[in-house]
Every structure is written in C-alpha cells, then in structure tokens.
Structure 1
Amino acid sequence: MRMKCPRCPQSVGLALSVLCLLGSLGCVGSARVVSENVPKPPAGNTSDTSGASFAAEVRLRSELAALFEAPRFDHTLWGVVVRSLNSGQSLYRLNATKLVMPASNMKAVTLAATAEQLGWDYRYETQLLTRAAIEGGVLLGDLIVHSNGDPTFNRLHTDPSEVFTAWANELKRLGIRTIEGRIIGDDNAFDESDLGAGWAWDYLGYGYAAPIGTLQLYQNTVSLEIRPGDMVGDPIVVEVWPAYSGLELTVLARTVVADAPFTINLSRLPGQSSLKVSGSVPVGAQAVTQTASVPNPTEFFVRSFRAALNDNGIVVRGDAIDIDELADADHVGTPRQLLVHRSPPLTETGSVLMKVSQNLYAETFLKTLGGQTARGNTVAGREVVRAVLASWGISPDAYVQYDGSGLSRYNYVTADMLVAILTRMHRDPKHTERFKATLPMAGRDGSLAQRMKGSRAENNARAKTGSISNVRALSGYVTTLDGELLAFSIIANHFHLPQSAIDAVTDLAVERLANFTRQ
C-alpha cells in the first residue's frame, strides 16, 4: 500500500511519503525542506541508471533531513549545502542562503582570497638592517629588525632559538662581536591596531586571542605551567616560559581540596601588561599548561632576540625597544641590509592556518592583503577579500566579514557562499590540490584527527572545522563510494545542546555522504 501526502509529489514515491509521516521530519512545518530538496524526476525515456540515481538522491535527502530536522534541533539554526562537483548539482540544501556565524570557517575565506591575491609561493621576509659602520668587530650603532608580518617564528615551523642562533652566526661572519647601539623592532608594516576586529575583551588574555604585529614570536604567546600549592589555601604556582613576555602576573587562584574542579581563568585588558590568573587548582593535581597572550609582540620579539645574541657571544650594549619609542632624528639615513630571513611559502603557512586553526595567522594574512594597497590593516584587507569574492561572482550580500579568523561573533556567511568558494578552489588548477592539502583530514590530522574514525570518511573527508560558543561548523570535500567528489558546508548556530551532540550529527552526515552511491 502506498501512502500519500498532499504536499509531496507522487512521483517521489514511498521514501518521501514515509518521511512525511515522521513528526520531526515531515511536511508539517517543513515546506522549506521540500521546496529546496525534492528534485523533479528525469523526463522522457529515463535509463535504469538515471532512475536509480534519482532514487538514491531522494534517499540521501531523506536521511540528511532525518539528521538535521530532528525535534531536538527545534531551536538550532542549521545552514547546510551539499553539492556534486562532478555535475554541479545541489544534492541537499537547508537554509542555504541564511546568514549564520561561521566561527573558524571564516579562515577558508581568508586563505582562498590570500592564495588568489598573493599566490601559493608567497613568503614573508624579516631583515636585519643598520645605518651604522662596523669597526674593529663593533657595530657602531643600532641593529634594526624589520618584518612584513612573518608569523612563523614558532615551533610549528623552525624553532626561533635556531633562527636567532643562525642570525648571530651570520653577524659574526660579517665581523660583528659587539653592538654598541640598541636592538630596534620596526613593526610599521602594519597599523597600530593589534586586535582582531570585533573581538571580545573577556578572552584577550588567552593565547588564541593574541595581538597581531609584524614581529611575531611564539605566536605572540607564552606558556603558563600551572600547579597547586603545597596545602589547601595556598596560592597556586605559575611559571612563565619563555622570559621577556612583558607580562605582570597577579595570581588570585588558590589551592583547593582534592575533589574540587580544576578551573583557571586568564584576564588581561587591552593594552595592559597585567595578567590576572584566577580560579582554583586541587591539591595534588598534575601541572597543566595554558597559553597566554603577550601585551606587546614587538618588545617580546626584540628582547628575546637581544638575549639570544648575548647567549651566542655577541655583546649588546643598548636596550631592545619598539621603533615607536624613537625620536624622528633616529630615523635619519637609509639603512642597509645585513641579512634576510624568508618564511616558508603559503602552502605551508596555509596548512598551519587550517589544520591547527591558528587565529594569529588568519589575522596576519588579512592585514597582509591590506598591505597591498596601504599600510597593512584589517579594513583594507577586507576590501581586498571583497574584490576577490566579487570577481568569483559571490555577492557581498552573502557574507559579513569583520576579522580573518572567525573569532569575532560579527562574522556571517551563508552555506551557499562557502560551497561556492570550495567549488571555485576545486575548479581552478592553480588552487585545486594546494587548497585541499591545507584542510584537516578526517581521522588523520589537525582538528579532525579524532573525528570520523573507522568510517568511510576517515582518510577521505577534508574539511575546515569551526567552533565558538553556540557555533559549530564543518566545510570541505568528501568522495562518495562511486568516486563522486562532493563539496559540503554544515553550520549550526543557536543550539543549547552539547557541542559533542552537534559534532556527532555533523560527522554522521559526512559519513553518509562518503557512503553515497547512485547505483
């Protein structure tokens, strides 16, 4: 017996008719799903293959609707698009043109525009410069460190201590054993605004919200090793690494009884060096490490470099300072280059951005884009992104960009827009493989290392994750059982469920796509 629903085309058959009987999924209150997702059957003399393909698409839509339209998601706003990159056909759409917060899926937008504008071979440069002469092993003046924003002086690439040692050796090869002047950090390639646009004050003390500069060391963060005191009521113990952070710690957290929760909060106001460490640590607990942002990246860099020079046998007489402290008279004369250090190419820095979801890299890329037309700044960078997206046919009505990383809650995108970018990157030969290689792979690496293990999506799906409070996102590519390549974007906003519940449904959807067959 075939059951019918007045809102479902009869040709769709039993699968969709049964769907209409399910209270959480059916036609009642779900006309938008039907209008977006039910295709017309193939016209004319349809082969068995096309008929099977049509039926398979109907089943896929029904199963995805069963996931995203379940009653427990009544208060959740999903934006979902699945598109075949073989045919260009949309296989599933839900709120595809609704603006939703993307969290770190904004990084995919930033990287795509950066790759298009600067190319995958783009490298940052850091120079050591001077206006002074070298006499008898002495540099008779200042040593200037100038960079256009290299974010890679960290252990994700080359250990900065190794770079500083190599610089010291090169200076000694040039005959320098003593620097009579100062170590000056020239950070003027970017503007003075060092926070991402739209960032909230309550997380500025944490490493993931580190300020942006042109001289950037250890991602402009330090590690805090946190452990309990000896007795209940004692202040906790906090050790900072590396030195020269410029932070002034105020430790308010106390040691508590053994079965109490371990909670640590970091608080630092914009432009302030005081970092407040509050919370509680159970007596006898193992030490944990937390990252904290530094107040002045330039000073952190040059102070650390000065110490490294001294450690490597070059005596520095002067202080390490930010160039903003100099009087105009100190800028007289054109400096000459002593050495230049080049970062890894965008193929590598882009992989760190996407796999580790490194906010600092994203904001640096955005300011670098702005630096193509003005002094590097976020506003100019957004205009470059807008121009790139417009050239790809993406309307400015489809997104609102504040920062480059997605940490701001003022960012909005549509799932359609993200899939359009994924489609563009796939179809452009200069981007295809390089862009995909930056994405985390399910069950293997980056932010997807522990997800979708044991499924067909493992070692198959490549996608960018996104997470801020009440926002989860996953956008990327997956290959079906038939070898068909799909692009997808799945974004959840406004949910009150645990993030793990959202991730579980998202992963099930991607696993279903990996198992899709038209046979």
Structure 2
Amino acid sequence: MIKILLLALALNTSANTIKDLEKEFLQKGDTLSYYIADENGKVISSNENQNLIPASIFKIFSAYYILDKLGTNFHFSTSISYRGDIENGTLKGDLILNTSGDPYLLTPQIFDLIESVAQEGIKKVDGNLVVVNNFVNIERIGTVGLDDQPYNQSISGFNLNFNRFKSIGRSTQKSIFPKHDGFQTISSQKSLGPGVGFKNQNKNNQDIEKWQYTNTKDYFVEVPIRNSLAFNAYYFKKQLEQRGISTSGIKITNKEQSETKRLNTIKSPSSLDLVKLAMEYSNNLFIETLTLKATNKENLADAAKKMIKDLKIKTKGKIENSSGLTTETRITPKEIVNFIQENANQKFGSHYFINLLSITGHSGSLHRKYLNDDGFEKFRYKTGSIDYVYNICGQSFEKTKRTFCIMINNLQKRKLVDGKNTNRTERLREEAKGWRRAKERFSELLLLQM
C-alpha cells in the first residue's frame, strides 16, 4: 500500500512538473506534441497524434533512405576533358566540363581541374567551354523564408561553394562581390523590404545572376545563387582566364560529349560522409542532391514522394522536398519515434544509423548543454527548426533506452511569417529567436522528466 502511494505521488509530481514547464515556457497559440517510448514498451505522451511541421527532423528519413539506396560508398564526380588538337598552346576544339551534381565541390577542386588544363600546355581554347549538366536544374529548394536566405539555394549538375555568393563589406564601405560576366549587382539606396538585404532580379530564366542589395552592417553575408549552372560556369571561365587560359565562350548542354581526352576527375566525399555532414550541419543541399540520385527523379517533390512511399511513412499535407524546408508537410511525433525505433540499429558499413545523429556534449544544439551530468554523451538526436517551429527527436541511452520526439509549433504565427513581408512579420521574425530559445529550454527540461 505504501509503495503504491509513493508511486502515485511520484507520477503526480512528474505531471505537475510538466504542467509547470508548459506554463513557464509555452505561449498562447503554441501546440505541443510529444511521444516518448522506452525499450520495455512504456510510453509517455501528450497529443501524440497531432500532425505538425517537422522541419529538418525530416532529414532522419532522408538520411536513412539515401544510405539504404545508394550505399555508403557512392561518389559524385566532376571531370575536365577536351576535344580536338593542341597546336602551340592553342586547343583547336572545345574544353569540356562534365558535372554530376557534387554538392561539396569547392574552389580548391576547381583549381585542380584548371591546373590539369594548364599542365597539358593549353593557353588558348579556340572553341567553347562546354559545361555538361548531367543532373537537374532547379531554382530553389523551398519557398520558405526571404529570398536571400543562404540555406535555400538552387541545385544543378554544377554545384560550387554550396551555391552561395559572398558579400563582404560594411554600411560605411563599398561591398565586395565575386566578379565575372555571369553576375551583376545593383546597389539600392532604398529599403528592399523589412529584413531584406538582397533581392533577386533574375527574370525569364536569364543566364546572368542579378541581385539588388542595400548596404548591410554585417561584414560577411552569404546569399543563395538562383541559377547555379550558369553562375558557376562563368565563375569557372573566369578562373581559367586568371590562370592564363582564354576561351571563346560558354556552351551549356545536357548532351554527352564524344571523342574527348580526359585530363582530371574530382570525386566527392562518399555518400556516408556527406550524410554525416548533412546531419551534423543540417545541410539541405547535401540531402536534396543525394535523394535525387537515390530516387532518380527530376524534381525535389517527386523524389521526396518516392522516398516517403518506399519507407511507408505516414504524412499529411503537401510534400515539397526531402530536407524539410517547407511548412506544408505534417507528421506526428509517434510516427517519427516508430521509425527511429525500427531503424536505429541498422548498420551502414561500420556505422549504426542512430550514431549518425548529434551527441549531447559533442555536437548539435546540445553540444554545450548536457541536460545534467548524467546526460553527457547519453543522447543521440536531431533538431528541426524554422521560425515558430522547434522539434527534437532521437534516443537516450541511460539505464533504460528511450526513443523520444518533442514537437512544438505555433502555426498561427508561422502562417503570418509566411504571408506578405511587412514590418509586423519582420518583428515576428525577430521575436522568433527568443521563442526558439524558450522552446529549446522547455524541451531540455522535459527530457529530464523522462
């Protein structure tokens, strides 16, 4: 009888504590849904069948699917070759760049490709720089956020430097941008809109990347490229010229080129390494390019739909992409917990899937927040957040292993942020920073109640 009374008191205290946390950290309009299941089948849950916006939690499904379909040792490749004869340093023909969608191609690798041309003795190309796009050509990953958000870039066969350009400068100084024939910037003395530093001016799929901007107080800003295929082709041509190799022009095609001599090939990190990076840094470009390869689809929505169908995941709403950069898709925390429980110990190469997630005390948003002394290195988790959306899902490895998913959305404020850009929505975006901090703290304290 005494044991039963003590248990009842303990459960009641836990319930009261959770209610106290909700009262302290949740606001009007916040929807909380969580599902926590231990290895013995015991479940603690609240509103677990509520479908909410997953944001980057969606990458848990994508990461698993990519490794299941592509394996751990798939590599993208980018190669340089030529067609024709070389006479006294002049190539009587075309220089050919074959692309495949490598999302981790960086300027040092471009220098490697160009150096192989120089070492062949080529100083002038009578023909064109032919860029072969053996992949998709998509303007943006999602429709969420302002136009200049760096995580929402384009995707093509020629992805370079994460498909972002860099702006360096202060409001009192002239800004510095990349300089080549495929890029144009227009300084504006007027505001481009609340919170807007850069506004895209590309129209009718033009080859030249054009952005209007206002001077910013930030010294270093990254802006997404909308036509990565053309922008990066012009960038490559400019780097050739700086190495002393001139070309007649640029030709972009999706047709394979025959009768060529290959000079150099750059391979990306493995699919396993790219997935590790994507999970650690929540990289949308890595996830989307890999899912496109895994599904062999031509657009992000079809690739994501095939992934969801193959994995037999239950979702609500519109499926737009595989990285979670959308407010249209909905899912329940119970569905996520069931997936993690089922696949946590799936082995990919030498790695168990669950260990691809962030670890408390080492990485992710909890790298400096151990929950408590016992929580250090005991949690594997993935977070997903955009303005007024915060989720954390994973497993804890304490005395009893638990799989958890906590989702908090304020759908009313999220809808306002997605609407017309006004001073009000800019204030909401600023307030969202504090909102997220409160939800992070709530989730950490809730995990302690497990």
TM-score by length of 2: 0.82
Deviations 1:452-488 (A, max 9, x none): 47643343323222111210111222221x2x33222
- Indicate whether 1:81 and 2:63 are aligned: no
Q: What SS does the aligned partner of 1:238 have? A: coil
Q: Is the 8 A contact 1:225 1:289 kept in 2?
A: yes
Q: Structure 1 residues 123 and 65, CA, compared in 2 at 3 Å: closer, same or farther? A: farther
Equivalent residue, structure 2, for 1:353: 278
Q: Aligned ranges for residues 404-415 of structure 1 at < 5 Å?
A: 404-415=322-333
Q: Could you report, residue by residue, the CA deviation over 1:370-396 in whole angstroms, capped at 9, with x for unpaired residues?
A: 32xx5x322431243024312xxx4x3
Contact 2:303 2:321 in 1 (8 A): no
Select 2:320's aligned residue among 383, 386, 402.
Answer: 402
Identity %: 18
Partner residue of 2:307 out of 381, 385, 388: 385
Q: Is the 8 A contact 1:473 1:492 kept in 2?
A: yes
Q: Structure 1's 269 and 115: CA in aligned 2 closer, same or farther, altered over 3 A?
A: farther
User: Counterparts of 2:358 and 2:201 in 1: how far apart (Å)?
Assistant: 33
2:138 is paired with a residue whose SS is coil
Task: Report the CA distance shift for 1:243/1:178 in structure 2 as closer, same or farther (over 3 A).
Answer: closer
Establish whether residue 206 from structure 1 lines up as the match of residue 152 from structure 2.
no
Change (3 A) 1:83 1:253: farther
Shift of 1:188: 4.0
State the partner residue of 2:253. 323
After TM superposition, list the pairs within 5 Å mapping 1:265-276 onto structure 2: 265-268=197-200, 271=203, 273-276=209-212
Residues 1:118 and 2:113 are matched in the alignment: no
Query: Residues 251, 166 of structure 1: CA spacing in aligned structure 2 closer, same or farther, 3 A cutoff?
Result: same
> How do 1:192-341 residues align onto structure 2 when only pairs under 5 Å count?
192-197=137-142, 199-200=143-144, 203-229=146-172, 237-241=174-178, 246-252=183-189, 265-268=197-200, 271=203, 273-278=209-214, 281=217, 287-313=218-244, 315-323=245-253, 333=258, 335=260, 337-341=262-266
Q: Give the match's secondary structure for 1:189.
A: coil
Change (3 A) 1:382 1:309: same
For the Cα contact (< 8 Å) 1:353–1:362, is it kept in 2?
A: yes
**Secondary structure, aligned partner of 2:197:** strand
What is the deviation of 1:296? 1.8
Q: Does 1:498 align with 2:435?
A: yes
Root-mean-square deviation (Å) = 3.4
Structure 2 unmatched runs, 5+: 414-433
Aligned partner of 2:440: which letter? D
Check conservation: 1:266, 1:277, Cα contact below 8 A: yes
Partner of 2:429: none
Pairing 1:433-444 to 2, within 5 Å after superposition: 433-444=351-362
Aligned positions, number: 422
- The aligned amino acid for 1:297 is S
After superposition, the Cα gap between the structure-2 partners of 1:460 and 1:143, relative to the gap in structure 1 and judged at 3 Å, is farther
Measure, in 1, the Cα distance between the counterparts of 2:267 and 2:440: 39
- The letter of the residue matching 2:408 is A
More contact order relative to length (CA 8 Å, sep ≥ 6): 2
How far apart are residue 109 of structure 1 and its match?
1.8
Distance 1:227-1:144 versus aligned 2 partners, 3 A rule: same
Classify 1:66/1:210 alpha carbon distance in 2 versus 1 (closer, same or farther; 3 Å).
Answer: same
2:82–2:93 CA contact under 8 A, matched in 1? yes
Cα deviation for residue 334 of structure 1 reads 5.4
Query: For the residues of structure 2 that align with 1:303 and 1:494, how far apart are their CA atoms?
Result: 43
CA shift for structure 1 position 135: 4.2
Counterpart among 458, 468, 471 of residue 386 in structure 2: 468
Contact 1:399 1:412 in 2 (8 A): yes
Q: Deviations over 1:382-432 (max 9, x none)?
A: 243024312xxx4x3567532122221112121122222322331212378
**8 A Cα contact 1:400 1:413, kept in partner:** no
Question: Per the alignment, in what secondary structure is the counterpart of residue 317 of structure 1?
Answer: strand
> In structure 1, what is the equivalent of residue 135 of structure 2?
189
Contact 1:248–1:275 at 8 Å: present in 2 too? yes
Looking at structure 2, the residues matched to 130 and 447 of structure 1 have their Cα atoms a distance apart, in angstroms, of 47
Amino acid at match of 2:391: A
Is residue 2:402 matched to residue 1:479?
Answer: no
Letter in 1 for 2:29: H
Matching residue of 2:340: 422
1:99 is aligned to 51
Tell me if structure 1 keeps the 8 A contact 2:383–2:391: yes
DSSP 3-state at the match of 1:299: helix
Partner of 2:420: none
Determine helix, strand or coil for the equivalent of 2:344: helix
Structure 1 stretches lacking a partner, 5+ long: 3-8, 20-58, 155-159, 230-235, 255-261, 282-286, 514-519
Conservation of the 8 A alpha-carbon contact between 2:77 and 2:100:
yes
* Cα shift at 1:153: 1.6
**Whole-angstrom CA distance in 2 between matches of 1:473 and 1:270:** 35
